[in-house]
Amino acid sequence: MVAKGIYFPNIDPKNPLGEVDQLIYDISRILKKKIIAVWARRKKAKMIMKNRCIDSGKVESKNNNVNMVASGFYIPKSNPEKPLGEDAHFICEEESTMGVADGVGGWAKHGIDAGEYARELMLNVQNSVKQEPEGYVNLKRVLDEAYLQTKANGSSTASIVTVDNDQVFHGINVGDSGFMIFRNNKLLYRSMIQQHRFNRPYQLGNDKRSDTPKSAQEYRLKVQDGDIVILGSDGLWDNVFVSEIEKTLMLRNVDGKGDVHDLASFIGQLAFSFSMDGKTFCPFAEAAKHAGQERVGGKVDDITVLVGRIVVQ
């Protein structure tokens, strides 16, 4: 299976759904040295490494029954000082696991790039995933380990999902990133938003005011062949209503045969289009209204969209 990496498209705000030049950022180059080091240590200990995970290129799934084919699309908010944005994500198709973290932008006023925390957290999550038993990833244990290993300043939300050999979907979430599961192009289930108050999400970090994995919500749900899992940062969920995602799936996932990268790319660009529209009414504006605030227009933010398709063989 091929897990596509992170994309930084050059998008014209006046024509965000037009053609874009995509620059593929190959995560496997970043992780190459770490993967080799892990392999060497296990070989020296006379262990067989079964849990190799790379984010691009061909991988042979160790899971012969259930797999999640996935792809990611990322549009960072335009900021020359933070070209990578504050979101981070990983896709580990061999383990049918993917995750996203959204660095909390409020740290910028203290001179801290919270994107560094998000990127380190997701790298540590991925490394922990590779150490999990074959066919079953304990997300609580993975998040606990990654949280303790992340030393960067700042804080971030976190949402991780996986599918095990028994066709059980597992999710864990802290904050306002999250996931939705669609069956026959209709919403089946979605994670809940965690926030202390409007626009102040739960967040993992090393600051004493930050939350910890103890605050995480866990989810388990039986899934079927062809189910679509969409995982994203709040840049997606704040700009696109569920009904708009359902319409997209009906048009681009006909008979359940839509390409996951095409879906991630289209939904990501749709979210970007709405975020740049100063007159639209979006989910963030709706939430603001419920909180007693008036807001018009989309929410400009980093946008991460990961799409996975459940495949049962």
How far apart are the C-alpha atoms of 53 and 45, rounded to whole Å? 20
Query: How much is the pLDDT for 171?
Result: 98
Mean pLDDT in residue range 163-178: 97
Which of 41-55, 226-240, 247-261 has the weakest average pLDDT?
Answer: 41-55
pLDDT digits (tens, 9 = 90+) for 93-125: 899 999 999 999 999 999 999 999 999 999 999
Domains of the chain, start order? 66-312 (3.60.40.10)
Query: How much is the pLDDT for 42?
Result: 35
Packed helices 242-252 and 260-275: angle between N→C axes, nearest 10 degrees: 140
Packed helices 114-129 and 139-149: angle between N→C axes, nearest 10 degrees: 130
Which of 36-50, 123-137, 246-260 has the weakest average pLDDT?
Answer: 36-50
Q: Mean pLDDT for the chain?
A: 84
Mean pLDDT in residue range 238-245: 98
Per-residue pLDDT at 141 exceeds 50 = yes
pLDDT: is 5 or 94 the higher one?
94
